[in-house]
Each structure stands twice: as structure tokens, then as C-alpha cells.
Amino acid sequence: MRIKRTFLIISAVILVVACATNPFTGKKTMALVPNSQLFPTSFAQYNQFLSENKVVEGTKDAAMITRVGKRISVAAERWLDANGHQGYLKDYKWEYHLVDDKTVNAWCMPGGKIVFYTGILPIAESETGVAAIMGHEVAHALANHGQQRMSAGMLQQIGAVAGNVAIKDEENRNIFNQAYGVGSTVGVMLPFSRSHESEADQIGLYLMAVAGYNPDEAAELWKRMNANSGGQAPPEFLSTHPSNETRIGNLTKWAPRAKEEARKFGVTSFKE
């Protein structure tokens, strides 16, 4: 019991000390791995990825990815500066690359390293569709979602270790491990991930609108995503992402708010 108590006290102290603030929501978030460690690792992994994959350069599509990325990153800096977060992006090193791959995906690593796969461009359909995707992915990085997921994973492991230390009987320990694995994943980790996706959807709308892109396009993008998937998806409660229907409904609801936010920055017309 003394070991368990000490372990829990240490964990509680870590949680209190290792916190960051989400500039978009004002909420305290977990930061067990500081950005000073996370960013250099991210940059190194990004460079390795580029060296091992076919980067598309010198094409109209590659130029579009860079153009949209720069507009979104400028919009992010404008929003952050206007809302009292000057210097928030000082350690970000923005980079935008298109990679020749049929996978329907795009991502932004901590610190602003972005990749679009060519496979997602037909679904994006236009520069504004790319902006909707870019805004969402950049939002993940700005809100430190990668840092939070790593922290949550570490806490999940701490809980598992604590349970195994506390439970001496092997049979009960096996029961605990099975129940804890399912319960912590379905009851905590998956909802945590879905909340990040919804948060990135909303922040991304604001960023694309401030950058001058029509936020109405985001819902249309996800209608195309839904059609591309053929409706094949796990139940929402077993998924890391909200259902396509949930996302489309939220994006439709949030788009007028994003336009209002953009008007604060003098943006009154939007690129379709």
C-alpha cells in the first residue's frame, strides 16, 4: 500500500506541475512531454519521413499546398496575436509538402510540419477544400493535441502499473488488466480523441475563415469524405473520430460563427 500511495502522489504532482493552456479554449491541458522535447523529435521524424517518401515538387498542386499552408499559418498568428498570445508560435517551424501516395490523408506534426497525400486531393476538389483540411490539421498542432495524447497514454500506463502493483492475486490481476484495458480505452481514450477531433474541426473553421476561405466548404468536404468511405465506419463510441454525420452537423452549425470571427479581422468575402 505504501508503494501504491507513493506512486499515486507522484502521479498527482506530475499532473499539477505538467500543464499547458489551450489558447483557443483557455482550458488547462496535460503536458507531461514539454514542447522543448517534443518539437525537435517531431522535426527529426518529419525529415526522415520526407527522405523515405516521394515528395512532389514543382507542380501546381504542390504550390497550392504551400500557398494554403502559409495563409492558414498567417491566419493562426493573426488570431493568436489578437487574443493575447503573442509569441505563441515562436518555436514553430512551418513546412508544407505534398507526397505522392494514394492514401486519403493529411497531417500536421507538433511544431508545424505538414504533409498532404496526393490521394486526398480529389476529395478536397478545390483550394478551399484543401484549406478546410489544412485548417483542421494545423489546429491539432496549435492546440497541442499530440502532446495531450502522449500525456494521456502515459497516464493510462501509470494506471495499469498502479493496478498491477496493488493487486497481488494473479487471477484478480488478470481480470483487472482486461477490464482496465477495455474500460480505459472505450471510456477515456477514445472519447478524449473524439473531443480533439471536434475541437480541431471548430478551430480549423475559424482559421480557414480568417485566411479568407469559405467555411461552408468544410461540411461539403465531409459529405464527400463520407461518400468516399462508402459509409463503412465503426460505431462512433468505438472510434477515434466522431461519425461523419456528427462532423457534418457540427461544421454546418459552426460555419456562421467562423464567418463572424473572420469579420473581426476585416475578412468579409470568402474564396469559394
Q: Would you place residue 7 in the very low, low, confident or very high pLDDT band (cuts 50, 70, 90)?
A: very low
The mean pLDDT of the chain is: 83
CA-to-CA dists, residue 100 to 16, 125, 162, 212, 253, angstroms = 44, 17, 45, 28, 34
Lowest mean pLDDT among 33-37, 159-163, 259-263: 159-163
For residues 23-56, b (16+ Cβ closer than 10 Å) or e, as one string? bbeeeebbbbbebeebbeebbeebeebeeeeeeb
Cα 47 to Cα 44, 72, 96, distances in angstroms: 5, 22, 12
The pLDDT of residue 272: 78
Q: How do residues 67-121 score in pLDDT, each as one tens digit? A: 999 999 999 999 999 999 999 999 999 999 999 999 999 999 999 999 999 999 9
Contact 106, 116 (CB under 8 A): yes
Provide the annotated active-site residues.
137
Instruction: For residue 29, list its beta bridge partners.
Output: 20
pLDDT tens digits, one per residue of 120-144:
999 999 999 999 999 999 998 998 8
| pLDDT surpassing 60 at residue 241 | yes
Q: Give the mean pLDDT of 212-225.
A: 96
pLDDT tops 50 at residue 237 = no
In this prediction, residue 166 carries a pLDDT of 72
Residue 47 has pLDDT above 70, yes or no: yes
Place 13 in a pLDDT band, splitting at 50, 70 and 90. Answer: very low
Lookup result for grid cell 452537423: 249
pLDDT tens-digit readout, 162-179: 667 677 777 677 776 676
